[in-house]
Amino acid sequence: MAFPNSAVTDIIATTIQSRSGNIADNVTNNNALLARLKQRGNIKTFSGGNIILEELSFAENGNAGYYSGYETLPVAASDVISAAQYDIKQAACPVTISGLEQLQNAGKEQIIDLLEARMTVAESTMANLISSGVYSDGTGSGGKQITGLKAAVSTAPTASTPYGGINGSSFTFWQNKFLDADTYNGVPTTAANIAAVMNAMWASLVRGSDRPDMVIMDNVYWGKFVASLQSIQRFAGTDDAKLGFTTLKYMDADVVLDGGIGGNCPASVMYFLNTKYLKYRPHAQRNMVPLSPGSRYSVNQDAAVQILAWAGNVTCSGRKFQGVVADAPL
């Protein structure tokens, strides 16, 4: 049966369309890493193609060197630029309204109020879906999930499983750093020795001015880190604090807790991230928008559906600048 009031079609569509920008913002602000990438200007939309490409430099130019007088200079071709490639992942959340609900909420204002409530739920649902995907390895939901930090900053960086289309076991420049906290100290990590673990990881990721600017912790490591700082003064990162994230400082990096209720950081894990080389890449035409104009109708139900949709992925162009500390391989 057709939907009894065709006017609700436009109401559903325009309600989602008018909120799409806010939803996209709330999704990024719901996750500390995405919020940092937004601050850096590293949310880059793409407009087409069957994959997302991230150009990267993997070697120095072999022609560089000293010379004297009329000495000839080398001009051989030097392959130094390549690209990592990432699949386009998709996510959606349908918003529905039945004919009975339309009758029970007679009048345009009441319908909009009902849809606003459902859009709020859809908005938070999509935000949580993307936030959890940021920490995934891309294998969830039959390989349809976002390729997140579990793949980009792996606890098995030399494994033959490709990331971004590049095999880390064959190319050392494409290996992130991993430190097993328990074996490093010979004993489990505590407040007394967590500084040694963090110092070792930090030192392995510094190259000149390139260094981690963000450390993400779960509840376990956060508790040990805070306990190690009880006797000294702590400074919060003001930018992240404004977004509602609890932050401390390590070196000059913000230490962020992504635990508590509904936290997505894996248990007993610290990610040391140089967000200069990380990007959030939503499609320009599919960043929390209605999937298609108007609404979709059930052929045998008095109901209409509009679908809030997203497409894109999280990408990395500098894997060797990222590190993970864990009690054991994930």
Sequence-separated (6 or more) residues with CB below 8 Å from residue 240: 32, 35, 36, 247, 254, 256
Radius of gyration of the chain (CA): 24
Judging by DSSP bridges, how do beta strands 323-326 and 177-180 pair with one another?
A: parallel
**Contact predicate 180/328, CB 8 Å:** yes
Question: What's the whole-number mean pLDDT along residues 47-75?
Answer: 71
Tens-place pLDDT, residues 94-105: 888 787 877 776
Q: What is the pLDDT of residue 276?
A: 94
3-state helix vs strand vs coil in the chain, percent to 5:
35, 25, 40
Give yes or no for residue 232 having a pLDDT over 60.
Answer: no
| 169 vs 176: CA distance, rounded Å | 11
| 319 vs 273: CA distance, rounded Å | 10
Judging by DSSP bridges, how do beta strands 253-257 and 214-217 pair with one another?
A: parallel
| 305 vs 240: CA distance, rounded Å | 37
The two three-digit tokens of residue 287, written as one number: 């960043």
pTM for the model? 0.82
| Amino acid occupying residue 209 | S
| 146 vs 129: CA distance, rounded Å | 9
- DSSP letter at 263 equals -
Buried-exposed string 181-208: b where 16+ CB fall within 10 A, e elsewhere: beeebeeebeeebbeebbebbbeebeee
Of 25, 24, 31, the C-alpha closest to 263 is 31
| 122 vs 130: CA distance, rounded Å | 12
Give yes or no for residue 162 having a pLDDT over 60.
Answer: yes
Tens-place pLDDT, residues 106-145: 666 666 667 777 777 888 888 889 999 999 999 999 999 9
| 320 vs 176: CA distance, rounded Å | 4
Residue 309's alpha-carbon distances to 123, 147, 306, in angstroms, are 11, 18, 10
Highest mean pLDDT among 7-11, 217-221, 230-234, 244-248: 217-221
Give yes or no for residue 235 having a pLDDT over 90.
Answer: no
Supply φ then ψ for residue 182, to 5 degrees.
-70, -45
Give yes or no for residue 147 having a pLDDT over 80.
Answer: yes
Question: What's the whole-number mean pLDDT along residues 36-55?
Answer: 89
Strand partners, 147: 137
